[in-house]
Amino acid sequence: MGRSRGGRTIRIHALTDRFCRLLAFLLTGGQAADCTAGALLLERLPACRIVLADKGYDSDTIRRQIEAAGAAPNITHEINRRWKPCFSPVLYWGWNAIERMFGRPKDFRRIATRYDRLAINYLAAVCLAAKIGYWL
């Protein structure tokens, strides 16, 4: 797990289908870039037409990886990007379901407060929460 002045930090990256069912997830330290974890998750990308992601995953390599899989990326662009790729805000409204999906495990207190010191223990708690139905 990452450390900062505020304590332990960790990020959960998730790959879901269009019904927000969890397909895969990955834990990284809080200081790690989102695009490196996104590239690993996209290796498990099933056949789809459009991929939604937020600004953290806005990189040319991720966009090329999505296009190589036969899908169209709909990713909000970083504000400092010179070339602004096409983006549909109407399609991006579906991202709200992803935010709600990440809000569900917050009811599982151990995940919300990050009691665990080791990443493997935190990963076990996240897997348990996913298994008992917090991410269905």
Instruction: Count CB atoms within 10 A of the CB of residue 15.
Output: 18
Asked if CATH classification 3.30.420 holds for the domain at 2-131, the reply, yes or no, is yes
Strands annotated E in 1-136: 2-4, 7-16, 22-29, 50-53, 72-75
Q: What are the phi and psi torsion angles at 85 (to 5°)? A: -70, 165
pLDDT tens readout for residues 60-110: 888 899 999 999 888 877 777 777 777 777 777 777 777 777 777 777 777
Model pTM score = 0.73
How far apart, in whole angstroms, are the C-alpha atoms of residue 95 and residue 82? 24
